[in-house]
Amino acid sequence: MDTESTYSGYSYYSGRSRGSHRHGERSRDRDRHKSRNKDSRSEKSVTINSPPAEPLLGDSSVRGGEQVQDDNWGETTTAVTGTSEHSLSQEDIVRITKDLEDSVGLDCRRYFTLTLAVVMGLLVFLTPVAFLVLPHLLWPEKLQSCGTACEGLFISVAFKLLILLLAVWALFFRSPRAGLPRVFVFRALLAVLVLLFVMSYWLFYGVRILDTQDDNYQGIVQYAVSLVDALLFIHYLAIVLLELRQLQPCFSVCVMRSTDGEKRHYNLGQLSIQRAALAILEHYYCDFPVHNPALLSASKSRAAKHLAGLKVYNVDGEFPAALADGPGNNAAAGMAHSQSRAMIAAAARRRDTSHNELYYEDAEHERRVRKRKARLVVAVEEAFTHIKRMQEEEQKKTPVDVMDPREAAQAIFPSMARALQKYLRTTKQQHCHSMESIQQHLAFCITNNMTPKAFLESYLSAGPTLQYSRSHWLARQWTLISDASVTSGLSDGCVFQLKCVDFSLVVTTKKIPYIQMSEEYIDPKSHKFVLRLQSETSV
């Protein structure tokens, strides 16, 4: 029977081969030889020829080195590939192109604004000089002589122009703090006012002086002095609108970070939404602790673990008709209902006890942090003690053998590196501090003779955002999202959002209420009292 089954199985495969008669004969001869060696007592063979057909995919009887592939090999095959560190995806190309376009647009806008300001400044400062020079160039023989009063006006124009030049440089020609999405309304209004003012003076000068070739040069000088005086008054108006108007606080804004709920409150004056957003971002980099996305991963993993432990059962669902017929099936259905309800109750009890798991996880994390902190403090104190010993020894050496603070920091850093690394990993700050930055901070502390506590302050508590390197906090671009126009002023209940790649800042505005104070006079004599002592006391 063994020989017959073996022959039958092989004949079944060979009959279903691709129709090669020669290959079938070789296989049968090879199997006959194997069967004779396996069982020499049996001489009977049975051959079953099946109709020609395709071989079964994945059949375990396939031999002879013939490789069989699955029809769905493109979907079921796992390929191990390698990616170059310089490879770029389509998304990366689109992002790089967008960043280049944005950077080019910002640079062009910045240079255009600067060029326009320079051209307008030259127009303003050269106009009074042109008023004084053009009569000497066009009709010098008709001009009257300039007396003492006229020459004194020259000195007045010169000093006023110098004062105006310094004032304009101090107010307008400052390095830009940021690129705003819209134009600054008051600054554009002042530019239009200056342009209209200068063009009006030129129009009057061309009609009344150039056309008539006025010979009263003292009057022309007084005309130029009046222009400089008017420009000085416009500059005073610019100081009031651009600087003084926003000093008085009118609104209280609440700034909340969307990821961790960190919140700060600030008082702002009469500002537009875009300038209020700029002021908030300046406060954000100095006041808010650095954004650490690693601290949010623990809560997300805990929530995912909790959801994975819950199962939902359809208790009130209908059973198939085959299961609903008969008393036995009804009993089985009722048992299934009771089991489902019991499992739902168990899941609910597990959900109710999830706060205990959270409590013990937080307690264990705090214990681990305190343990790592204690080890770190001890390691840093020992390292600084070693530094003091080295300083005492170096005082006895020649100046050539004295180490600089950089070398001293590199010498003692390995003794504290392991404890510091474990602490930063436990508190999830390892991405905020590189080895180079830690050594630089250590060298800075050694140079300024700081204590171990001063060195550890940067790592034991999260500092402001500007404390860390620019690669960790510098956002390429902030997006201002507001329902109202960004050039409109702040109002009570105004809400807008500042969005970057990782998080967003939600800003809520409240107007500072009007405070009514009253005075109450208290007579100083009302504070006086008399202490009367009885001469007879009870013994």
Write out the residue range of the structural domain in which residue 421 sits.
Answer: 360-461
CB 181 within 8 A of CB 486: yes
Quick check: is 4 in a domain?
no
Dist CA 481 CA 499 (whole Å)? 8
Q: What is the mean pLDDT of residues 95-124?
A: 69
What is the pTM for the complete model shown? 0.66
Q: In the structure, what pLDDT confidence band is assigned to residue 228 with cuts at 50, 70 and 90?
A: very high
- CB neighbours (10 Å) of residue 164? 20
Say if residue 383 is in the same domain as residue 506. no
**Helix or strand run (H / E) with residue 389:** helix 354-395
DSSP 78-139: -------TT---HHHHHHHHHHHHHHHHHHHHHHHHHHHHHHHHHHHHHHHHHHHHHHHHH-
CA proximity to 383, closest of 452, 448, 317, 323: 452
Q: Going edge to edge, which strands form the sheet with 479-482?
A: 263-268, 251-257, 504-511, 495-499, 479-482
Q: What is the mean pLDDT of residues 357-380?
A: 89
Select the more confidently predicted residue: 84 or 269: 269
**Angle separating helix axes 185-205 and 217-239, nearest 10 degrees:** 170
What are the CA-CA distances from residue 240 to residues 195, 231, 246, 316 (Å)?
A: 19, 14, 9, 74
Q: Count how many Cα atoms sit within 13 Å of the Cα of residue 266 in the half-sphere of its side chain.
A: 20
pLDDT at 319: 44
Quick check: is 510 in a domain?
yes
Q: In the structure, what pLDDT confidence band is assigned to residue 357 with cuts at 50, 70 and 90?
A: confident
Q: How many residues does the chain have?
A: 539
Say if residue 234 is in the same domain as residue 115. yes
Tell whether the model's pLDDT for residue 94 goes beyond 60.
no
CB 293 within 8 A of CB 462: no
pLDDT at 347: 62
Q: In the structure, what pLDDT confidence band is assigned to residue 118 with cuts at 50, 70 and 90?
A: confident
Quick check: is 445 in a domain?
yes
| Domains: count for the chain | 3
Instruction: Give the residue from 245, 270, 301 where a domain finishes.
Output: 245
**Helix or strand run (H / E) with residue 472:** helix 470-473
Say if residue 455 is in the same domain as residue 483. no
Dist CA 214 CA 222 (whole Å)? 13
Q: What is the mean pLDDT of residues 431-441?
A: 88
pLDDT at 496: 95
> Range with the lowest mean pLDDT among 169-183, 248-262, 340-354, 402-416?
340-354
Say if residue 169 is in the same domain as residue 122. yes
Say if residue 122 is in the same domain as residue 167. yes
Say if residue 115 is in the same domain as residue 236. yes
Say if residue 114 is in the same domain as residue 219. yes
Q: Annotate 360-386 with b (16+ C-beta within 10 A) or e (fewer).
A: eeeeeeeeeeeebbebbbebbbebbee
Quick check: is 86 in a domain?
no
134-168 pLDDT tens trace:
988 888 888 888 888 888 899 999 999 999 999 99
Select the more confidently predicted residue: 79 or 420: 420
Instruction: Report the percent of the chain where pLDDT is more than 90.
Output: 34
CB 227 within 8 A of CB 128: yes
Tell whether the model's pLDDT for residue 374 goes beyond 50.
yes
Say if residue 131 is in the same domain as residue 158. yes
At residue 255, φ and ψ (nearest 5 deg) are -110, 120
Bridge partners of 266? 253
**Helix or strand run (H / E) with residue 348:** helix 327-352
Dist CA 268 CA 484 (whole Å)? 18
What are the CA-CA distances from residue 282 to residues 278, 429, 478, 506 (Å)?
A: 6, 24, 12, 15
Quick check: is 467 in a domain?
no
31-52 pLDDT tens trace:
554 444 444 443 333 233 333 3
Mean per-residue pLDDT of the chain: 75
Instruction: Give the residue from 399, 430, 461 where a domain finishes.
Output: 461
Dist CA 252 CA 268 (whole Å)? 6
Dist CA 207 CA 209 (whole Å)? 6
Say if residue 484 is in the same domain as residue 377. no
Burial of 220 (0-12, 13-18, 19+ CB in 10 A): buried
Tell whether the model's pLDDT for residue 83 goes beyond 50.
no
DSSP 146-167: P-HHHHHHHHHHHHHHHHHHHH
pLDDT at 309: 52
Q: Which of 276-285, 380-389, 422-431 has the highest mean pLDDT?
A: 276-285
- β-strand pairing of 479-482 with 504-511: unpaired
Dist CA 388 CA 392 (whole Å)? 6
pLDDT at 532: 73
3-state DSSP call for residue 519?
coil
Dist CA 36 CA 469 (whole Å)? 81
CA proximity to 224, closest of 135, 306, 128, 329: 128
Q: In the structure, what pLDDT confidence band is assigned to residue 520 with cuts at 50, 70 and 90?
A: confident
Quick check: is 47 in a domain?
no
Say if residue 122 is in the same domain as residue 162. yes
Q: What is the mean pLDDT of residues 373-378?
A: 93
pLDDT at 2: 42
pLDDT at 226: 94
pLDDT at 345: 66
Instruction: Give the residue from 393, 426, 461 where a domain finishes.
Output: 461
Quick check: is 69 in a domain?
no
Phi-psi region of 261 (alpha: psi -120 to 50; beta: other; left: phi over 0): left
Contacts for 430-438 with beta carbons within 8 Å, 24 or more apart? 431/294, 431/472, 432/290, 432/292, 432/468, 432/472, 433/459, 433/468, 434/469, 437/469, 438/413
Dist CA 107 CA 179 (whole Å)? 10
Say if residue 241 is in the same domain as residue 194. yes
Q: Which of 63-67, 118-122, 456-460, 506-510 has the highest mean pLDDT?
A: 506-510
CB 451 within 8 A of CB 415: no
- Unique residue bearing structure tokens 């056309």: 211
Tell whether the model's pLDDT for residue 223 goes beyond 60.
yes
9-26 pLDDT tens trace:
333 333 444 444 444 545
Q: What is the mean pLDDT of residues 86-109?
A: 52
Dist CA 2 CA 5 (whole Å)? 5
Q: Please give, one letter per residue, the 3-state secondary structure of 396-453.
A: CCCHHHCCCHHHHHHHHHHHHHHHHHHHHHHCCCCCCCCHHHHHHHHHHHHHCCCCHH
Say if residue 383 is in the same domain as residue 487. no
CB 454 within 8 A of CB 445: yes
Quick check: is 430 in a domain?
yes
- Unique residue bearing structure tokens 């059949």: 59
Select the more confidently predicted residue: 190 or 5: 190
What one-letter code names the amino acid at 304? A
233-254 pLDDT tens trace:
999 999 999 999 999 999 999 9
